[in-house]
Structure 1
Amino acid sequence: MNNGVLIAQITDTHVGFEPEAEDEEFNFVRFREVLEHLLAQSTRPDMLVLSGDITDGGQRECYERVRRLLATCPFPVAIIPGNHDNREELLRAFPDCPTENGFVQYARQIGELRVLCLDSFDPERHGGAFCDVRAAWLERELNSHRDTPTLIFMHHPPVVAGIDWMDPRPEEPWFRRFHETVAGHRQIVAIEAGHLHRPLHSSVVGIPLSVTPAVAPAVSLDLSPMDAEHADGRAIVATEPPFYSLHLWRGGVLASHFQPVGPWQTLARFDKTLEPMMRGLFGERH
């Protein structure tokens, strides 16, 4: 992209939730529609990041379906695992995906922006993980490029969002380790995550954090406490529209856009009737 770097993010596709449906599966159809919408944009991203939960159960055939779909992308695709994924099957389908000490994490330089893809997956739990090995890798990457603007992608947001059944404990050890690792690194412009199936804006030791909503159905927004022993009938998951995001780095500033995909009606187009308004808007820039 001219005059900047544009990175797309798609997360939580959960392909394989209905494995018998194959290419007509609800989640796969939503993924295909999101990718088609992204590819139809007049401005193409410099890179696409798939930030985890690519499949729903780590099935080999689901990664193959995703691989075939991504073959249509005319730009690089970076992939990291989520808690529903399987590292071995992911790497079987995407053998060019780099690893570090067994973790799917790596760095990419896109123009003046450095992108760090971090593996926060622990196969033993739903929540995230960030062990000493991963922390040492991230520390090395950050220390070796202290003057390069850096964007971190990971599946699990290292914050408590307030959705009780999705949240980890506030005192999670991996939270503390991650916060300590990134603290003081002023070159980190933002942290981008998935996992919550909802949009979220927060911060980690002063670093902006945002969560891209899912391609799969959304987690319903309910910030009231939950008692796991007493079902209260609250909404848990809803078929809100699928999303992707676009992260634009330009002029030393990061702007993140969240795009829903659906059969929306266009209410206005830039035709001759809108030229006076546009001339006035552009005239205010002088």
Structure 2
Amino acid sequence: MIIAQMTDIHIGFEPEARPEELNRQRFRAVLDRLQKQPNPVDLLLLTGDITDRGDRDSFEKTAELLSELDMPVKALVGNHDTREELLNAFPDTPTTDEGFIQSAWVQDGLLVILLDTLEPGRHGGAFCESRAAWLAGVLADNPDVPAVIFMHHPPVISGIAWMDPDPADKWLARLCEALSGHEARVQAIHCGHLHRQLSARFCGIPVSVTPSVAPLVSMDMRPISSTKPDSRALITTEPPTYALHRWEKGHLASHYERVGDWDVLAYYGPHLVPMIKHMEDEKGLG
């Protein structure tokens, strides 16, 4: 099984731009690459900040572009989105009894869990007792199944201070408590929000952040002041990125591809058969 992940598209940041806003151009480029790349994709996950303002027009424009895909699409909510308009654009999206956009299912022997970390009006993440109880229940109901979690906000400290949570934020403790006892079988937590690639650990579980489709956050980990601007770079036009998460025979591996123009330096022709055969023959002999 291969799960594609795109995050932080931010459609509607420049709604009046002509002929088309930059974020929509970048989204089109990633969608085009996703359809042309050689690996069959079973599911596309959008892990939040699909829009910039949570408005209906931006969600409808996004859904229209996604309708051209020949794969299932599931959407998660980010801090720039609204649950109401996401559900309007993606009406088949499951919700909990309390209205949170959370769901879970087993596919190819992997428990896939989607979490809602939105608190309206808050830039950072949230994970209330109700959401935590739901997660704990899903994990308890599937005790022997390996799991992977997708959510918008990373529950880790990256060092890019203006984007990070406070380590003392209570939602982090609730999430860790809900995961307690299941750390060994949760293969990974995959997030967005940071607009940069990141690898870390949370409560002993690997955490990875997929870079954004929209422009990226500058990798500047110096302390930042909320009262003294220092003209540092905050947002860059680094290429948009998407991820492919491959689950095969009990192993989860994640690949990240930047989208842009490049040249192919080698094609697999007859002259490379000896090299490929040698590499194949030596497997298992190390």
TM-score category of the 2 structures, normalised to the smaller one: over 0.9
**Would you say the 8 A contact 2:2–2:246 is kept in 1?**
yes
Q: 1:19-98, aligned counterparts within 5 Å?
A: 19-21=15-17, 24-98=20-94
> Partner residue of 2:117?
120
SS at match of 2:273: helix
**Would you say the 8 A contact 1:82–1:121 is kept in 2?**
yes
Matched, 1:15 2:11: yes
> What letter is aligned with 1:7?
I
> Partner residue of 1:275?
273
> What letter is aligned with 2:85?
E
> What letter is aligned with 1:85?
D
Distance 2:172 2:238 in 1: 29
**Would you say the 8 A contact 2:155–2:165 is kept in 1?**
no
**Would you say the 8 A contact 2:115–2:149 is kept in 1?**
yes
Distance 2:117 2:18 in 1: 28
Q: 1:1-286, aligned counterparts within 5 Å?
A: 5-21=1-17, 24-100=20-96, 101-185=98-182, 186-285=184-283
Distance 1:87 1:23 in 2: 29
Q: CA deviation at 1:217?
A: 0.5
Structure 2 unaligned residues grouped into runs of 5+: none
Q: Write out per-residue CA displacement over residues 81-102 of structure 1, whole angstroms, 9 at most, x where no aligned residue.
A: 0000011111111111111111
Q: CA deviation at 1:22?
A: 7.1
Q: CA deviation at 1:41?
A: 2.1
Distance 1:129 1:181 in 2: 14
Distance 2:17 2:273 in 1: 48
Distance 1:234 1:90 in 2: 34
Q: CA deviation at 1:45?
A: 1.3
**Would you say the 8 A contact 1:81–1:119 is kept in 2?**
yes
What count of residue pairs does the alignment treat as equivalent? Answer: 282
Q: CA deviation at 1:110?
A: 1.9
RMSD: 1.2
**Would you say the 8 A contact 2:145–2:185 is kept in 1?**
yes
TM-score, normalising length: structure 1? 0.95
Q: Write out per-residue CA displacement over residues 49-79 of structure 1, whole angstroms, 9 at most, x where no aligned residue.
A: 1000000001111111111111122221111
Q: CA deviation at 1:13?
A: 0.3
Q: Write out per-residue CA displacement over residues 147-191 of structure 1, whole angstroms, 9 at most, x where no aligned residue.
A: 111111000011111101111211111011111111211321110
**Would you say the 8 A contact 1:104–1:119 is kept in 2?**
yes
> What letter is aligned with 1:79?
A
Q: CA deviation at 1:275?
A: 2.3
Q: CA deviation at 1:201?
A: 0.4
**Would you say the 8 A contact 1:218–1:238 is kept in 2?**
yes
SS at match of 2:211: coil
**Would you say the 8 A contact 1:215–1:243 is kept in 2?**
yes
Structure 1 unaligned residues grouped into runs of 5+: none
**Deviation larger for 101-110 or 134-143:** 101-110
Identical aligned residues as a percent: 51
SS at match of 1:192: strand
> What letter is aligned with 2:116?
D
Q: Write out per-residue CA displacement over residues 230-285 of structure 1, whole angstroms, 9 at most, x where no aligned residue.
A: 11121111000000001111122211111100011222211233222222222222
Q: CA deviation at 1:23?
A: 7.2
**Would you say the 8 A contact 1:248–1:254 is kept in 2?**
yes
**Would you say the 8 A contact 1:46–1:110 is kept in 2?**
no
